[in-house]
């Protein structure tokens, strides 16, 4: 059994006892009160704790609690989705694009910066707006999330997975650039393969070591390429 310093008094108290003798029902009751960070630490104690702390419903409750979300629909493709819930960057508003929309008008309407919209949607220029049916808008106030329902979506254009808020309550239909989990993962691998000029297995490897983050996969691949170049020069 491994011991660690925990920020949660509940976990610290449990570690005074043998974790093996604590039944799953008791663990579940306790883990439902923990933040995401302590769930990750609890999963490292033993196999029993890991099986309970890895439960989707427990993670979802811990993810929603700080923001007072009412409901979270969908399952993320990467476990890092649950851990990155301490800032509003994990959330986005879905805005269906109209012909008259511009980045400047959207930034003004939602009280955000144009650069933040472009960064969130993986846009290099303003012209990218014309090839999409919706844009993700950064959430700039936590109040909008209170009692709200969010949808876990992998956006093909933005190349990121976020909890999406629909201001009209729910999506009338799933946007064309939102991919189902398995199909979305396949598309991400294909995109990485083309960007890296490698085979599927290599692209999948870098995606796995980056916990499903495409940007992290490209960064790891770039580091390895630079290292190989340096080795050839020495």
Instruction: For residue 42, give both structure tokens.
Output: 């609890």
- The set of residues, in sequence order, having a beta carbon less than 8 Å from that of 227 and lying 6+ positions away, is none
74: left (phi over 0), alpha (psi -120 to 50) or beta: left
CATH classification code of 69-178: 3.10.350.10
Q: What is the mean pLDDT of residues 34-44?
A: 74
Per residue in 87-107, pLDDT (tens digit) is 899 999 999 988 889 999 999
Q: What is the mean pLDDT of residues 61-67?
A: 89
In the chain, where are the structural domains located?
A: 9-54, 69-178, 183-233
> Mean pLDDT for the chain?
79
Asked if pLDDT for residue 17 goes beyond 90, the answer is no
**CA gap 64, 45 in Å, rounded:** 24
CA dist 92 to 21, 145, 186, 220, Å?
42, 10, 23, 26
| Topology at the third CATH level for domain 183-233 | Helicase, Ruva Protein; domain 3 (1.10.8)
Three-state SS at 72: strand
Asked if pLDDT for residue 177 goes beyond 70, the answer is no
Instruction: For residue 140, give both structure tokens.
Output: 């700039």
Asked if pLDDT for residue 78 goes beyond 60, the answer is yes
**CA gap 3, 17 in Å, rounded:** 12
Q: 3 falls in which pLDDT band (50, 70, 90)?
A: very low
Query: Measuring CA to CA, which residue among 209, 207, 162 is closest to residue 187?
Result: 207
Q: Which pLDDT score is estimated for 226?
A: 83
Strands (E), the chain: 71-73, 91-96, 134-138, 149-155, 160-165, 178-179
């Amino acid at each position: 059994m491994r011991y660690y310093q925990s920020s949660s008094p509940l976990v610290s108290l449990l570690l005074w006892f043998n974790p093996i003798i604590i039944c799953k029902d008791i663990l579940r009751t306790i883990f439902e009160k923990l933040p995401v960070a302590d769930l990750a630490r609890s999963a490292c104690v033993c196999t029993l704790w890991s099986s309970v702390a890895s439960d989707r419903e427990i993670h979802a409750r811990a993810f929603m609690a700080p923001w007072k979300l009412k409901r979270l629909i969908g399952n993320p493709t990467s476990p890092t989705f649950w851990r990155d819930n301490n800032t509003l960057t994990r959330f986005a508003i879905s805005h269906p694009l109209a012909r008259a929309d511009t980045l400047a008008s959207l930034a003004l309407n939602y009280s955000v910066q144009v650069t933040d919209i472009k960064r969130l949607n993986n846009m290099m220029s303003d012209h990218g707006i014309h090839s999409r049916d919706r844009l993700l808008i950064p959430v700039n106030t936590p109040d909008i999330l209170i009692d709200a329902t969010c949808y876990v979506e992998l956006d093909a254009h933005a190349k990121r997975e976020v909890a999406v808020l629909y201001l009209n309550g729910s999506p009338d239909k799933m946007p064309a650039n939102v991919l189902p989990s398995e199909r979305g993962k396949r598309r991400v691998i294909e995109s990485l393969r083309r960007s890296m000029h490698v085979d599927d297995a290599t692209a999948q490897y870098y995606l796995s070591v980056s916990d499903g983050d495409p940007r992290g996969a490209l960064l790891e691949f770039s580091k390895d390429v630079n290292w190989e170049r340096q080795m050839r020069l020495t």
